[in-house]
Each structure stands twice: as C-alpha cells, then as structure tokens.
A and B are shown apart, each in its own frame.
Chain A
Amino acid sequence: MKHAHAWLAVGAALPLAMGGCTPTVRVEVAPINIYAKLDADVRVRLDKEVQSAIDKNPGLF
C-alpha cells in the first residue's frame, strides 16, 4: 500500500518534471526568405517605399 502511494506520487510528479526539462523546440524560419519570398511586384513596391523612406530620414541611415 505504501509502495503504491509512492508510485502514484512519482507518476504525478514525472510529467511535471519532464515538462520542466523538455527542451523548447525553436522553429527558426530563415529570415532571409521573408524578403526573397515576396512576389516580384510586391518587392518592387517595397523597394520603392524603402528607398524614399531612407531618403526622407537621413538622420537614421
């Protein structure tokens, strides 16, 4: 009976302990793809917007 209780306790604690140890799976999407994967027309539009933004903010670039 005592043993059963002990195992119960272990059974309850195990998932918790494992949860604490489970490594966080980081799905890292290669960030370069964000720009490269844009549709060509969107990229042209974005390039124009960014170009004018850079020209308008000489204090930041």
Chain B
Amino acid sequence: MTRSNTVRNGLARLAAAALLMSSSSLAVLTVTITPAQADVAASKAAIDAAKARGIVGEQGDGYLGFVSSASDPALAAALAEINAGRAAVYRDSAARAGVTPAAAGQAAAQQILARLPPGQYYKPIGGGWMKR
C-alpha cells in the first residue's frame, strides 16, 4: 500500500515536471518568435527611412548597401538583417528556377529598381551610386 502510494506519488511528480517543462519551453518559443518578427519590421522601417534620406540604397546584386560608409551600428544591423532575409529568398527563387542565387538577386534588382522612388540611390553592378 505504502509502496504503490510512493509509486503513484512519483508518477504524479513526473507528470507535473513534464507539464512544467513543456509549458516553459512553450513560453521560450513564443518569446523567441515574436521579437524576431518585430525586429524585421523595425529593421524595415529603419531601412526605409535611411533610403529616403539617401543613406542606404539598392544595389544591382539585389542587396541593400550604404551609400556613404556605415556610421550607425543599429542601422548596419538592420541592413544586415534585411540582406540575410533577401539571401534566403534568392536561394529559394533560384532553386525553383534552376539558377544560382546570384542570378536571382540580379533579377530581383531589376524589379526593385523599377519601383524605386525618385531621389533614392541605386548602384548598378560594377558602377557607382546613382540617384534615381
């Protein structure tokens, strides 16, 4: 009787521990996912503002670049984050079309340039920054 009680007790504790662990890992999951998405949105806003001010521009390889040398570390981090996201997109598109990611980036650059607002900067491959 005492023995089965102890076993039951042990089982209950195990179940409680498992519940605690799963709920805590769930909490960790939600905590890690939400700020990452918020980060991208914040990065996009920072980059859009920098593009409007002529600090950041679009390059012929499909990536963002600094028109003048990077001075703000937060902006540099935002730019790196967006570029990393684009790299993943180019890899995916390239795989679907059966080309290299670099080709996909260049294809994207054509379309990015087509919708680039006047006054913003663009750097063709092998060239310097130009104002659209």
Task: Kindly report which residue of chain B lies nearest to residue A58, judged by CB atoms.
Answer: B44
**Contact assessment for A42 and B86 in the assembled complex, using a CB-CB cutoff below 8 Å:** no
Of A1-9, A12-20, A47-55, the segment with at least 4 beta carbons within 8 Å of chain B is A47-55
Question: Of B60, B96, B100, B110, which is within 8 A of A49 by CB?
Answer: B96
Task: Kindly report which residue of chain A lies nearest to residue B45, judged by CB atoms.
Answer: A59
- Contact residues in A for B110 (Cβ distance below 8 Å): 35, 47
Give Cα A24–Cα B20 distance, bound, in whole angstroms.
59
Find residues 30-61 in chain A having any chain B CB closer than 8 Å to their own CB: 30-32, 34-35, 38, 42-43, 45-47, 49-51, 53-54, 57, 59-61
Q: What per-residue 1/0 map shows which CB atoms of B41-74 lie under 8 Å from chain A?
A: 1001000000000000000110000000000000
- Contact residues in A for B94 (Cβ distance below 8 Å): 46
Question: Of B60, B61, B93, B99, which is within 8 A of A42 by CB?
Answer: B99
Minimum CB–CB distance for B14 against chain A, Å? 43
- Contact residues in A for B102 (Cβ distance below 8 Å): 31, 34
Give Cα A59–Cα B84 distance, bound, in whole angstroms.
12
**Contact assessment for B125 and A53 in the assembled complex, using a CB-CB cutoff below 8 Å:** no
**Contact assessment for B93 and A53 in the assembled complex, using a CB-CB cutoff below 8 Å:** yes
Minimum CB–CB distance for A45 against chain B, Å? 5
Question: Of B82, B89, B107, which is within 8 A of A46 by CB?
Answer: B107
Q: Shortest 8 CB-CB distances between A and B: which pairs?
A: A35-B106, A46-B97, A49-B93, A60-B85, A32-B125, A50-B107, A34-B103, A53-B93
Besides A34-B106, A50-B104, A57-B89, 5 other CB < 8 A contacts?
A45-B97, A45-B98, A49-B96, A50-B108, A59-B44
17 contacts between A and B (CB under 8 A): A30-B125, A31-B61, A31-B102, A38-B99, A43-B107, A46-B103, A46-B104, A47-B107, A47-B111, A49-B93, A49-B96, A50-B93, A50-B111, A54-B112, A57-B89, A60-B44, A60-B89
